[in-house]
Structure 1
């Protein structure tokens, strides 16, 4: 069983998500600080789920979703968005994301989304 790839340009955000996942028995296989790195790590690690921030330098989450879906149409991706990013969330869902969670994170919402996506 591979695990989850966490993508966020803020290290503390990655740590927060990782913490929630580990406490709930999920495995984290890698982290990436932007979309470019996320696409490379996806190819390398083949995670069974990606938790992806929307706004990041180099390559944003939406572009990264498109690239990952092009590599693996079955990819499971959950987007993280700040309040007020509805338009971007819709775009990400159209690009192939399964679900989204809103910052600040409620741990149970994160876990629900992860369980649902891994279904």
Structure 2
């Protein structure tokens, strides 16, 4: 079973992702509501995969992605954000993100993307 850490400042989004992926065979091992918390939860939970929002208080998703990748170059992080601008996507991919999902997303899109990334 693939262990997932969900990072988003919006409780509704965290719960939505959790609901979609748990009923499709993923195990949610942790949640974080900001980028700073994401890094400590990553170390604590040791997930196989992370979903990471870009726009969050304290530390944004790109900075958190960089920190996680510096701690674990093999980390599998999927960015999930309403910001669908190409510059953010490019920046995330250049900093180690394995994929990018734009909000609003469907269950099918998030499950398919996480399944593909978990197989990398």
Question: Do the structures match in fold with TM over 0.5?
Answer: yes
Partner of 1:101: 101
User: Partner of 2:100: helix, strand, or coil?
Assistant: strand
Partner of 1:82: 82
- State the Cα deviation string for residues 36-92 of structure 1 (Å, max 9, x = none): 000000011110000000100100000000000000000000001215432112101
Aligned alpha-carbon RMSD (Å): 1.1
Unaligned ranges ≥5, structure 2:
none
Task: Report the TM-score when normalising by structure 2.
Answer: 0.95
Task: Report the TM-score when normalising by structure 1.
Answer: 0.96
Change (3 A) 1:18 1:33: same
Partner of 1:9: 9
- Count of residues in Structure 1 that have an aligned counterpart in Structure 2: 119
Q: Provide the C-alpha distance between the structure 1 equivalents of 2:67 and 2:84, rounded to a whole number of angstroms.
A: 24
Q: Provide the C-alpha distance between the structure 2 equivalents of 1:51 and 1:21, rounded to a whole number of angstroms.
A: 11
The correspondence of residues 29-108 of structure 1 with structure 2, limited to 5 A, is 29-108=29-108
Unaligned ranges ≥5, structure 1:
none
- State the Cα deviation string for residues 8-60 of structure 1 (Å, max 9, x = none): 00000000000001111110000000110000000111100000001001000
Q: Provide the C-alpha distance between the structure 1 equivalents of 2:112 and 2:2, rounded to a whole number of angstroms.
A: 19
